[in-house]
Structure 1
Amino acid sequence: MRGVRAATALPVAVAAVLTLVVTTGIAHSGQPASPVAADAGSPAPPSNSQAEPVRPGAVIAPSAARAEQEAAVAEVYAAWKAAFVRDDCRDDWYQVYSPDAYEPYVAEGQGYGLVITAQMADVDPDAQEIFDGILRYVLDHPSALDPDLMAGAQDLSCNTTGGQDSATDGDMDIAYGLLLADAAWGSAGAVDYHALAVTRINAIKRSEVHPETNLMELGDWAHPEWTPQLYWGSRTSDWMLDHFRVFGAATGDADWDTIRLAHQDLIETLQDDYAPDTGLLPDFVQDTGTNPRPAQGQFLESETDGYFSWNACRTPWRIGVDALNSGDPRSVAAAQRLDDWIQESTGGDPDQIGTGYRLDGTRYGTGSDAAFFAPFAVAALSDPDSQEWLDALWAKILATDVDPQRYYAASIQLQVMLIVSGTGLTL
């Protein structure tokens, strides 16, 4: 979950921005097309999130009454907000606090915060104020390599620490969150959310998509001369197929279809060749230009870089939500492989889901964590035979309290609840 990028002989100015300590999915967004006003709060058009979401791949849902599901989401959101949303650095900022990351504020967390608060637009009357405060924080901490992306981490004083470069998944969630905000509040007010989203999407393509493989890079710092091995690496939890579809629709850029298909091809290859009995993906993939395969230990973060560990634990969610929202048969098949294996390996008992697996399904992590068990609920939604399993997972999620020292698990748990319950917006 935490790691240090290997030192590389670089010019001093470049090396200064490549010393960022990498954590579980750090990534960011950068300078605005127009600045966000500190008093942004002009009346917004009514949210369209009351419309029934269209989810072509949804074949089951939790058996609990919808009102009960919505109440559960609101309760977990309130606990998440109380534990992790802060405004103690500057009056016009909000930040998502990450006590279990390597720095107290990471871009991944700000991306999660934007997605969550936009999704709660119809529930929390303060959602837009918090969203805009997080957005101002994001815009005020740009990457030094691409100012339309965000620097990776800040200390308790909200000063950027280590390097000032990006990592990919936070950037993607920041852009996605801006599109959710446009859907929730419109872009005719003080902030043009849609324009900011397009700026970030274009920056992601420019600086975080490999020009030859069309796979997501680890960040804007991945470079053939500076970090040659890592330049040909990718993090599977950055393979957000549904985001790629939404980015293409928002920009009219057909390249996002090419990017999505490259990731779907590699998901299929990895499942077939390296995890035929489980469908599990590794945290990282190396040698993407020649022979893509699970990364060796210490490729970027730890000895488990080639295992289903603290990054890849998100892949059942990321693949599952594309299956849910698009109905794409390839995503449905990939999600169902994961769903079939986890049910069989646990005997249908979510308490048996571990916190780390080798790709053959051998469990090496002890204990239970929402970062691992909650994402499997999204993978279950497209499987008509998984109703009992989904209900068991939902019950376990509801029985899991928000731990104020575990931002990562709580943020994943809440986002899964939003998806599974159908609360909020579907783009």
Structure 2
Amino acid sequence: MAKKTQDGESRLFLFLESVVVMSLLAFSLASCNVPTDSFPEASSPEAPVSARSQVELAELEVQPEPSAPILSRNGYAGKAIACPFPQHTSYVVNAILPDHRTREQLDTDTVRAYEDWKSAYLVEVPVESGASLYRVAFSAAQPDRTVSEGIGYGMMIAVSMAGHDPSARQYFDGLWRFARQHPSSIDSRLTAWQVPENPAGDANAFDGDADMALALLMADKQWGSDGAVDYGNEAVRVITALRESAIGPDSALPMLGDWVDPEGERHNQFTPRSSDFMLANFRAFSNVDAHWLPVIDASLSVIQEMQRDYSAETGLLPDFIEHDSLLKRFRPAQPGFLEGAHDGQYYYNAGRVPLRVAMDVLTSGDPTSLAIAGRLAKFAVKAVGDDPAAMGAGFGLDGSAIGNYFTSFFASPLAVALMT
């Protein structure tokens, strides 16, 4: 079994366009809320199902369904798409949109980015017979490689673009089938973090499966679960597996993956990856399994502690976080903790934190997340002034730039934080 030890810089190509598309989707207000009344309970007998949250994944006006089924060119027959792109519905808070682009131009920007992403990264996997399979290529330099994060991004993007792309459901189902063909060697309900796998097998990476689970919840809302894939049941299965195999039993924090020993010396239940604080995902999961509520609280607590003690002026988080058991406090990880020299800095993991936190603000209105996103937004304004192209590529927690070049990977998530 191999654990996930990717170098952050090598993931630039995959993350760049995927994160940009997900950020643009925020501008187009193209998210679906997640219903709970049709979901089965989580498999753990002691896990209660919470009451439907006051504010769900997003607020939508669902369009009425026509009486006749719709048959798209991809061969899927079924109910009308519940949340076709673009919805143009309002988030919980009064989101700030770019004022130099009209709503229609923002939609066009999103569609263009989506089509570029699809052309560059979405790959159909040859099959002799049966349903189609798709995967997300890692990069132009490594086109035959796929990581679970890419599958998660792809599923989130596909379900959000239904209504624009008649093949969205075909892509979504094909991505999910591909993921199921490559299970984690630790918990087979989860997905191996990379394909091709190592000969000894590969464990999961938390964020890839967490995004797949949220995408499955959204798919249940978008298309219903009475087709070839029972999205609702599949979502519950992954959510349960994540809680049982990748959440710290005492810390209630997301662990790096199902390979982590909660009591391990180096990597354990108190050493999270900051970009795994996927608050909007966790709130959606808590509608299915109330055990996720403490995960939200624990994640917010660590973020607040890190901002208070290490980045009061910038709000930036490090890629990885360690815990000092003697001082009983969290701290930035040391260089070489898992991926490289920048593990304790705001780099190609933490760069997604503004997107994750802002998604929670926009869809739940949580005041703690709002304060966290506000600090990040102030840093973004200070870092670029009137020139967004001045955004650096990675930062020390004091705001000092690491890379003297522009990449949308860092700019786009901070732009979503500015929406709050």
Q: TM bucket by the smaller chain?
A: 0.7 to 0.9
Question: Which of 41, 45, 60 is the equivalent residue of 2:79?
Answer: 45
Deviation of 1:62 after TM superposition, in Å, equals 2.2
Task: Return closer, same or farther for 1:212/1:100 CA change in 2, 3 Å cut-off.
Answer: farther
**Match in the other structure for 2:208:** 170
Task: Return closer, same or farther for 1:44/1:90 CA change in 2, 3 Å cut-off.
Answer: same
Deviation of 1:21 after TM superposition, in Å, equals 3.6
**Match in the other structure for 2:300:** 264
Task: Return closer, same or farther for 1:343/1:189 CA change in 2, 3 Å cut-off.
Answer: same
**Match in the other structure for 2:316:** 280
Alignment check: 8 A CA contact 2:249 2:262 kept: no
**Match in the other structure for 2:219:** 181
- Higher relative CO (CA 8 A, sep ≥ 6), structure 1 or 2? 1
CA distance in 1, matches of 2:343, 2:215: 28
Q: Which runs of 4+ in 1 moved over 4 A?
A: 23-26, 100-103, 159-162
**Match in the other structure for 1:298:** 336
Question: Which of 153, 158, 164 is the equivalent residue of 1:123?
Answer: 164
1:247-396 matches, cutoff 5 A? 247-249=285-287, 251=288, 253-287=289-323, 290-382=328-420
Deviation of 1:42 after TM superposition, in Å, equals 4.4
Within the alignment, does 1:96 sit opposite 2:133 as a pair? no
Helix, strand or coil at the partner of 1:61:
coil
1:120-269 matches, cutoff 5 A? 120-155=161-196, 163-224=201-262, 227-231=264-268, 232-249=270-287, 251=288, 253-269=289-305
Alignment check: 8 A CA contact 2:274 2:349 kept: yes
Unaligned runs of 5+ in 1: 1-16, 27-32, 34-39, 383-427
Tell me the percent identity: 37
**Match in the other structure for 2:109:** 72
Deviation of 1:341 after TM superposition, in Å, equals 1.6
CA distance in 2, matches of 1:70, 1:43: 27
CA distance in 2, matches of 1:320, 1:369: 20
Alignment check: 8 A CA contact 1:154 1:161 kept: no
Q: What is the alpha-carbon root mean square deviation over aligned residues?
A: 2.2
CA distance in 1, matches of 2:5, 2:201: 8
Deviation of 1:23 after TM superposition, in Å, equals 5.1
Within the alignment, does 1:18 sit opposite 2:2 as a pair? yes
CA distance in 1, matches of 2:247, 2:3: 21
CA distance in 1, matches of 2:214, 2:168: 16
Alignment check: 8 A CA contact 2:272 2:320 kept: yes
The one-letter amino acid paired with 1:22 is: Q
Task: Return closer, same or farther for 1:288/1:134 CA change in 2, 3 Å cut-off.
Answer: farther
The one-letter amino acid paired with 1:299 is: F
1:20-39 matches, cutoff 5 A? 20-22=4-6, 24=8
Helix, strand or coil at the partner of 2:329:
coil
Partner deviation per Cα, 1:59-95 (whole Å, 9 max, x = no partner):
3212222221111111111111011011144362101
CA distance in 2, matches of 1:48, 1:42: 15
CA distance in 2, matches of 1:215, 1:145: 19
Helix, strand or coil at the partner of 1:367:
coil
Deviation of 1:121 after TM superposition, in Å, equals 0.6
Q: Which moved more, 1:160-169 or 1:79-88?
A: 160-169
Deviation of 1:278 after TM superposition, in Å, equals 0.4
Alignment check: 8 A CA contact 2:314 2:398 kept: yes
The one-letter amino acid paired with 2:146 is: Y
Alignment check: 8 A CA contact 2:4 2:205 kept: no
CA distance in 1, matches of 2:259, 2:355: 26
CA distance in 2, matches of 1:134, 1:281: 31
CA distance in 2, matches of 1:151, 1:101: 21
**Match in the other structure for 2:21:** none
The one-letter amino acid paired with 1:67 is: E
Q: TM-score, normalised by structure 2?
A: 0.78
Q: Which moved more, 1:364-373 or 1:283-292?
A: 283-292
Task: Return closer, same or farther for 1:343/1:81 CA change in 2, 3 Å cut-off.
Answer: same
CA distance in 2, matches of 1:287, 1:41: 52
CA distance in 2, matches of 1:291, 1:125: 50
CA distance in 2, matches of 1:70, 1:324: 18
Alignment check: 8 A CA contact 2:351 2:413 kept: yes
Alignment check: 8 A CA contact 1:19 1:162 kept: no
CA distance in 2, matches of 1:356, 1:117: 29
Partner deviation per Cα, 1:311-365 (whole Å, 9 max, x = no partner):
0000111111111111111111110101112212322321111111110111121
CA distance in 1, matches of 2:151, 2:398: 34
Deviation of 1:19 after TM superposition, in Å, equals 4.8
The one-letter amino acid paired with 1:149 is: L
Deviation of 1:366 after TM superposition, in Å, equals 1.8
Helix, strand or coil at the partner of 2:266:
helix
Aligned length: 348
**Match in the other structure for 1:108:** 149
